[in-house]
Structure 1
Amino acid sequence: MSSEQHVLSREKNDILHPPGGILIWILIFLEVITFMIALSVFAYMRSRNAAMFAESQAMLNPLLGTVNTIVLLSSGYFMAEAVRKLRAGLLKLSVRYTLVTILLGLVFIAIKSFEYSQKIEHGIGLEYNTFFTFYWLLTGFHLIHVSVGIVILVFIYFSLRKGRYDARDHEDVETGAAFWHMCDLIWMLLFPMLYLIN
């Protein structure tokens, strides 16, 4: 096969098989749809009781939310770079970028845990009011996704260190990256709805 035919074959394969495989993209689609439905219900409930939702939103810390947004988006960048470096055959850089992604994910969890502790300290739990029921359920469900994502990335990190993946064999890494980017996307839906829009 000529180099041109090889390129065309790879392009066709990429169209039929997106990075990480079709199954992870089906999962991402379903997860995003689930969160969008939940946020639509949230928006409807807010329209029914705008004053209470505005008062409750004012009890959140937008600075913590903003910092966590920067942290999570930065982690997404580093994970994308980890995949890019691996495709280029730069295994050591891929390992480093994956580790940075994991550390940033842990920072996100630490900040969110601190935010949760503040709410609990002030007696703001799941049943405080409708706004905070949504807040706890949506951010909690997202936090579970981030935690699962970190577990996946830790597995990928150690697999990379052992040389199990390379420039030709990296679909598992792409799958983990796609899942992590899903966490980014979901947070970008949650952050403005919960912290900014009123």
Structure 2
Amino acid sequence: MEVIEKKSQDQATGYKSIYYPPGGILLWIIIFLELITFGLGLMAIVYYGRLEPELFQLSRQQLNAGIGMVNTLFLLTSGYMMAMAVHRFREGQFQKSGKYIQWTLVGGGLFVVLKSYEYFEKLSSGIEVDGNMFFTLYWLLTGFHLIHVLVGMVILGWMMFKMKAVYADITLTDLEAGGAFWHMCDLIWLLLFPALYLIF
């Protein structure tokens, strides 16, 4: 009987490892839908950019590519920290995992602060969402991405808080789900940055 139960558990574990990605299928369905949404936005940039190439080129020149590059480094660094947090958690080093989550949040916080400064700079210059098609897409896509970063920070902040409790009930699946969401934010920004900030 025990052998049969053990075999069933092994099969269940094997089934999960084959069919369930880190964080669970539901999360990856959400990530897939989010990537489709941003993908449509990127296609809009390409489409309207071909209709009005001079306008898009001049508009890109009004963005601060230096700020965009620094923010890219912030997100990439925080993404690395998140990967290390999951790695340490797998090894049972929960305290170190929590420290890496803290650094992940620092990177996300720096991104939010710098992005907020960039928004203030644009609004002060009179660049608003209805300026032209380029800036409409700029505000919508970067604003939507910023919301995702803030949501990711709330999720990771909650996990870090729970991990500090005496009886932490955070599982590896929970942390992998948070990590997958955070890496999605990284990936989306890596697509938005060249499409919006770099002149081709």
| Count of aligned pairs | 193
| % identical equivalent positions | 48
Matched, 1:157 2:166: no
Are 1:63 and 2:63 matched, yes or no? no
What are the Cα deviations for residues 2-38 of structure 1, in whole angstroms up to 9, with x where unaligned? xxx8888645421221111100100000000110011
Q: Aligned partners of 2:139, 2:122: CA distance in 1, in Å?
A: 10
Structure-2 change in CA distance of 1:85 and 1:11 (3 Å): farther
Distance 1:73 1:8 in 2: 37
- Asked if the contact 2:85/2:101 (under 8 Å) is kept, the reply is yes
Q: Which amino acid aligns with 1:33?
A: I
Which residue type is aligned with residue 121 of structure 1?
Answer: S
Query: Which blocks of at least 5 consecutive residues in structure 2 are unaligned?
Result: none
1:126 maps to 2:136? no
8 A Cα contact 2:49 2:56, kept in partner: yes
- Of residues 138, 143, 148 in structure 2, which corresponds to 1:145? 148
Q: 1:180 aligns with which of 171, 179, 182?
A: 182
TM-score, normalization by structure 2: 0.91
Counterparts in 2 of 1:75-114, with a 5 A limit? 75-114=78-117
CA contact (8 A) 2:145 2:189 kept: yes
Deviations 1:84-139 (A, max 9, x none): 10010001110000010011100000000010010011010001111100000000
- Contact 2:57–2:199, Cα closer than 8 Å, also in 1: no
1:128-163 deviations in Å (ceiling 9; x for gaps)? 111100000000000000000000010011111114
Letter in 1 for 2:190: M
- CA–CA distance in 1 between the matches of 2:95 and 2:148? 27
CA contact 2:129–2:139 (8 Å) conserved in 1: yes
**Displacement, 1:165?**
4.5
TM-score (norm 1): 0.92
Q: Superposition RMSD on alpha carbons, in Å?
A: 1.6
What is the match of residue 27 of structure 2? 24
After superposition, give the CA deviation of every residue in 1:26-60 in whole Å (9 maximum; x if it has no partner).
Answer: 00000001100111011100000000000000000
Q: 3-state SS of the aligned residue for 2:79? A: helix
Amino acid at match of 2:149: V
Indicate whether 1:196 and 2:165 are aligned: no
> In 2, Cα distance between the equivalents of 1:30 and 1:141?
14
**Any runs of at least 4 consecutive aligned residues in structure 1 with deviations exceeding 6 A, and if so which?**
5-9
Q: Deviations over 1:150-193 (max 9, x none)?
A: 00010011111114247xx3211111111111100110110010
Amino acid corresponding to residue 189 of structure 1 in structure 2: L
